[in-house]
Structure 1
Amino acid sequence: MTAELGADSEVGTLRTVMLHRPGDELRRLTPRNSDQLLFDGIPWVDRAQEEHDAFAELLRGRDVEVLLLATLLTEAMTVSGAARMQGISAAVNERRLGRALAHDLSVHLREVPAAELAQILMAGMTFDELLEAESGNPELSGSSLVRRMHHGADFIIDPLPNLLFTRDSSFWIGNRVAITSLALPARLRETTLTDLIYAFHPRFLGIRRAYESRTAPVEGGDVLLLAPGVVAVGVGERTTPAGAEALSRSLIEDDLAHTVLVVPIAQERASMHLDTVCTMVDVDAVVMYPAIQDTLSAYTIRREDTGVSIRGADPFLEAAADAMGIGKLRVIDTGLDHVTAEREQWDDGNNTLALAPGVVVAYERNVETNARLEASGIEVLRISGSELGSGRGGPRCMSCPVARDSLEHPA
C-alpha cells in the first residue's frame, strides 16, 4: 500500500524516504577539486556504497519504502521529453562553454538514452568523454575555441557529489513539497534534478508545491519540523536571513505553519546547517551540541490577524517549547566533556534520522552520543559511516522523508 505523501514533524513514523546511492559522481573527487566540491576527504567509493546499501536495508527492514533518486530521475526522463530538456538545459552552460560547444553538447545529450543521460547529469562529463561520444557522429564536429583551450580531463558538465545529501534540495511539509535554493555553486544544479523528478515522475503527478520562491538561499538541512504547524529554520553558512524570511512568510500564508522559529547558527563548516547541531529524536526531545545549548536563540514569526509578527531573539529552547505547546523541550547533549562533544558533533552525532517517536538512526562511531540517547530512552539503530561522512553529513542529511504518519492524525 502506498503511503500518503507528506510530513508534519521530524518524528512521525517514517513510511517513504528518498535516498541517493553514491555513485560515479564521488569517483570524480580528487585532492585538487574536493574543496570546491565541498568534501573534506576523498571517499573510498565502494565502501561508501556498501555503507549506504546497509543504511537503505536497515530502513527497509523497518518497513520504510526507499526511493532512489537515480531511479526516479531515469524514470522521469523516460516518460517525459520535457524532463529531459529541463535536465539538459540546466547542465549545458552556454556562458561558460560558448554557443558553438553548448549547441554540440545539447545535440549529443538529446540523443542519449534516459539511463545514460541521468548518469551524465549526476556524475558529470569531461571534454574527453564528449570527444569519445562524438567519434561515432560526424555531425558533431563543430569548431570551438573553448573546446581547444580546455584539457581533456576538465569537466564540460560538473559532477554533483553532494546529491548524496537528499535532505537539502527539497523537503515536505504538510502534503506539499518545497524545492529549495542551494547556496553554493557546487550544488546549484541539484535542485533542477529534484524539481524535474517532482514535476514529471508519475509517482508525484498532481502534488502541490510549497515555497516556490528561489530569490534567496534556503537549504533543507536548516529546516526542522518541530511539531505540526511549528518549523525551525537555521540561518548560517547556507540559509540567509532573506531566505528564512521568505520561507517563513510563505509557509504561514499557505497555512502550512502557524509559527516559524528563525535560529542563527555559526557561519562555519562545522555547523553548516541547523541539523548539524540539533535534531528531533522524540515528540518532546532533541539531541543537541552542548556548546550551543545555552546560547542558541530564535526569532519567532507568528501568524496574526493582521499578517505576521516577529519577536525576539529569545532562548531557542524556551521559544520552541512555547510554540510546540509543551512545558519543556527535553535536551540530550552529545558528550560529558568538551573534547568528546566537539569530536562527535563534527562526526554528525547530532544528525540523527527519526524513524518513529523515540527511534533514530545514527552513525555507530558516535559512541558517547549514542549511549546518552539510549540512557534517555531513545532506541538507536547504528550504521557505519566511515566513508559516507567524508562529505560532512549524517543519516538525516542523507534522507528526504517523503511520507511520515501525521502526529495530529496518527495512522
Structure 2
Amino acid sequence: MDSEVGPLRTVLLHRPGNELKRLTPQNNDQLLFDSIPWVGRAQEEHDAFAEVLRGRGVEVILVADALRTALADPRAHAAGVHAAVDDRRLGADLGDSLRSHLSSTNAAALAEVLMAGMTFEELPYSEGASLVRMMNHPHDFAVDPLPNLLFTRDSSAWIGDRVAVSSLTMPARRRETAVFDLVYAYHPRFRHAARAYGAHSAPIEGGDVMLLAPGVVAIGVGERTTAAGAESLARSLFADGIAHTVLAVPIEQARATMHLDTVCTMVAADAVVMYPLSRDSLTAFTMRPTDDGSVKVEGPAPFLIAAAEAMGIDRLRVIDTGLDPVTAEREQWDDGNNTLALAPGVVVGYERNLETNARLEASGIEVLPIAGSELGSGRGGPRCMSCPVLRDSI
C-alpha cells in the first residue's frame, strides 16, 4: 500500500462492543471519551459505516472476529492470557488465580476479556484472602477495558507490504497493541506479514502516519507521537526501502489536534482537506537517507511546500474546513478533516459536517456521509475508525 487514496480493497474495523458499556461519568475522561455513548446507536452507526464500505467493494475484517480466530492457536491463547494479567495490579496470588482461569477459557471468552476487560466483581472465586481484592471496589477494573479499540487506525498502520504496530502513548490505550500483535502474529491472513515497526519502540500512533505518495510518508509529532518515534519509523522505512522521504510535522499538543489526521487528510492524489488555521502554520522537517546509512534532516519548511516537493508535484491542493473561523473550528472538532478515502476523489465523512462536505463536493470530491453522533464521542472520524490493509496503486 503506497497511498492514502488508492482504491481501498481491505480494511480492519472494530464494531463497538461491551467495552463501551464500561464507560461511566467517573472514568470516561481517563478512558479518553468526551461523553458516555449510547452503545446500541453507536453499533448501528458503525454497521452503517461498514455497509457503505462493503457497498463500494471493500472487504471488511472485524477485529473481534480476527482476534477470536487468532486465539484459536494455543500459542496465541497463552500470549493473550499473559497480556490480560498484570501482577503489578493484582498481586501474585490473585494474578495466578486469574491466569489459571483464563487459561481454561475458550478463544471467544478470552477475546471478550481482552477487549471489554474485567472488574474485581467478575474475577473468578479464589480460596484464601486477597488484600488486593478486599481493598478494591467491586466495579474497579482488574483488567482494563479498551473502548478506544474502535479507532483501529491508531493501533497499527500498513506501509507498503509491511505493518507498523504502534507504540501507543496514553495508558488507557497501551494494551491495544497486544490485541493487534496477536492478530498479526497468529491470524492465518496476517501471520506472514513483515513488520515495519514494533509496539515496544518509541511512541508513534497510526493517526499520525500519512502516505502522501509512493515513497513519501508524513508523520505528525505532537501529543501522541514523539520525535524519537518519527525518526525511528523513518529509519525503519529507509532500511526496508519502503520510503525515500519522510516528513516530520509538528502539531499542537492538544486534545483537538491529537493526531495529524485531525487537521489534514488526503482526498485525492494531489488534494487534502485541511483545517484553515493549520494551512499556514504547519511546518515539516524533511528526512532522507544518505549513502552511508545515516539520515539527513532539513527544515523546517512550510508543510504544503515540503510535501509537494517530496511528492514531485507543483502544489498540493487544499480544501478548507469552512472559511468562517467559528464554523471551521466546530467542524474540525467534529472530525470534518478526518475523512477516509475509498478511491481518488471519493471519501467517507460524518454527515454533520455540512460546510466541509459542501466544500469537498464543490471541489469535485464525492462525499459518502455517515452518521456519527455516538461514534464521535471518543473524538475520531472515519479515518480514525479504519485501518486500511490493502489498496490498489494509483
Report TM bin, short chain: over 0.9
CA contact (8 A) 1:237 1:268 kept: yes
**Which residue among 374, 377, 384 is the counterpart of 2:364?**
377
Alpha-carbon distance in structure 1 between the residues aligned to 2:78 and 2:12:
23
Question: How far did 1:213 drift?
Answer: 6.3
Shift of 1:191: 0.4
| 3-state SS of paired residue (1:246) | helix
User: Using the alignment, how far apart are the partners of 2:87 and 2:329 within structure 1?
Assistant: 44
Report the Cα distance in structure 1 between the residues aligned to 2:103 and 2:254, rounded to whole angstroms. Answer: 40
Code of the aligned partner of 1:118: A
Report the AA paired with residue 317 of structure 1: L
Alignment CA distance shift 1:213-1:29 (3 Å): closer
Matches of 2:75 and 2:383, distance apart in 1: 31
Q: What SS does the aligned partner of 1:52 have?
A: helix
Gaps of 5+ in 1: 1-6, 135-139
| Cα deviations by residue, 1:349-406 (Å, 9 ceiling, x for unpaired) | 0000000000000000000000000000000000000000000000000000011002
| TM-score normalized with structure 1 length | 0.94
Checking the alignment, whether the CA contact within 8 Å between 1:104 and 1:142 is kept in structure 2 is no
Contact 2:31-2:172 within 8 A present in 1 as well: yes
Instruction: Tell me how far apart the structure 1 counterparts of residues 141 and 166 of structure 2 sit (CA, whole Å).
Output: 25
User: How far did 1:147 drift?
Assistant: 1.1
User: 1:211 & 1:150 partners in 2: Cα distance?
Assistant: 37
**Match for residue 224 of structure 1?**
210
Q: Select the residue among 329, 342, 345 that pairs with 1:342.
A: 329
**Deviates most, 58-67 or 85-94:** 85-94
In structure 1, what is the equivalent of residue 176 of structure 2?
190
**1:103 alignment partner in structure 2:** 96
The amino acid across from 1:13 in the alignment is P
Give the 5 Å matches for 1:368-407.
368-407=355-394
What residue number does 1:137 align with? none
Name the residue aligned to 2:117: 124
Aligned residue number for residue 8 of structure 1: 2
CA RMSD of aligned residues (A): 0.9
User: How many pairs does the alignment contain?
Assistant: 393
The letter for the 1-side match of 2:89 is R
Is 2:152 the counterpart of 1:166? yes
Q: Deviations over 1:23-81 (max 9, x none)?
A: 10000000000000000010000000000000000100001000000000001111x11
Aligned counterpart, 2:162? 176
* Residue aligning to 1:91: 84
1:148 is displaced (CA, Å) by 1.4
Following superposition of structure 1 onto structure 2, how do residues 297-308 of structure 1 map, counting pairs within 5 Å? 297-307=283-293, 308=295
Q: Which runs of 5+ in 2 are unaligned?
A: none
**In the alignment, which residue of structure 2 is the partner of 1:309?**
296
Greater shift, 146-155 or 208-217, is seen at: 208-217
Mapping 1:240-389, distance limit 5 Å = 240-307=226-293, 308-389=295-376
From 32, 39, 46, the equivalent of 2:40 is 46
What secondary structure is seen at the aligned counterpart in 2 of 1:41?
coil
Question: What is the identity percentage for the equivalent residue pairs of Structure 1 and Structure 2?
Answer: 70
1:151 is aligned with what amino acid? H
Q: CA deviation at 1:116?
A: 1.2
Q: Classify the secondary structure of the residue corresponding to 1:396.
A: coil
Measured in 2, the distance between the counterparts of 1:100 and 1:206 equals 37
Matched, 1:33 2:20: no
Q: CA contact under 8 A between 2:67 and 2:179: conserved in structure 1?
A: yes
